[in-house]
Amino acid sequence: MVDSISLGAAQQLSLTARSRIADARDQAANHLATGRKISKITEDAQKFLLSKGLVARVDTLNTAKANIDQGISALLVTEAGLDAADKLAQQLKGIATQALSAEADDRANLAAQFDVVRTQLNNLIGDTSYKGVNLLSNPSDTLRVNISEQPSESLDVAGSASDASGLGIGTSAAAYGSFATTTDINNALTALDDARSQIRSTTSNIVGNAAILGVREEFSENLANIVQAGADKLVEADLNEEGAKLLSANVRDSLAQEAQNISNQSAQLVVGLLERA
C-alpha cells in the first residue's frame, strides 16, 4: 500500500511539473510570436504603464510633426505664389519699358495691357491659399503652426499683402497717366522695382520660416523615434533569450515525459508483483 501511494505521488509530481513546463513553453512561444514580453498590465504593471505613457507621448509628437508638415506646405504654396507674382511684376515692367519708346497710340494699348496683367496679378494672389489661409491677400492672414507636443508652443508667420495694391502697383490710368509721358512711365518703373523688392523680402521671410519648421519637423521625428525605442525596450522580448527558454522547456518536457513513463512502468510492475503474491 505504501509503495502504491508513493508511486501515485511521483506521477502527480510529474504531471504538475509537465504542466508548469507547458506554461513556460507557451509563454516563450507567445513572446517569440508577438515580440513582446509584456502585453498586459498583469504581467508587469510598472513597465506596462511606463511604456503606455511613452507611446502616448509618441502619438503627441507625431501629431505635432503632422501640424508642422502642414505648415510647411502652406509656406511652400506661398513661396510659389510669390515666385509667380514676381514674374507678373517683371512682365508689367517689360510693358512699361516698351512704352518708353512707343508712339502715343501704342502707349495707350500698352497701358491697357498693363491693367490686364495687373488684374491677373490680383487673381493669382487670391488663389495663393492653403486650407483657407492666404498670407498674400489684402489684408493678409497669419499662419499659426503648433510646433511642439506642448500646446502653448507655436510659430506665427505673418503674411504680407502682395496684391497689386499691397505692392504699390496702381492702375495705368489712375497712377501712371496711361503712359502719356516719360515721367508717368518712369513712375511706373520705379513702383515696379519697389514691388519686386518687396516680393523678394517677403519670399526671404517665408523661406526662413519654412527652414525653421523643417528643423522642428526633423527634431519631432527624431524625438518620436527615440521615445518609441524607449517604450519598446520596456516591453519587448529578447528573442534569443525566449528562443533558449522555448528549447529548454521542450527538453525538460521530454525528460519529464520519460520520467512519467518510467513511473508508470514501475507502478505496473508493483501491481503485477502484488497480483502474483
3-state secondary structure of 76: helix
pTM of the predicted protein model: 0.75
pLDDT at 32: 47
What are the pLDDT digits (tens) for 78-131? 999 999 999 999 999 999 999 999 998 899 999 999 999 999 999 999 999 999
Q: Domain residues of the chain, as ranges?
A: 2-37+238-276, 45-235
- Per-residue pLDDT at 39 exceeds 80: no
Buried b (16+ CB within 10 A) or exposed e, 64-103: bbebbebbbebbebbbebbebbbebbebbbebbebbeebe
What are the pLDDT digits (tens) for 46-55? 988 999 999 9
Q: Which CATH code fits 45-235?
A: 1.20.1330.10
Q: DSSP readout, 193-240?
A: HHHHHHHHHHHHHHHHHHHHHHHHHHHHHHHHHHHHHHHHHHHB--HH
- Per-residue pLDDT at 237 exceeds 60: no
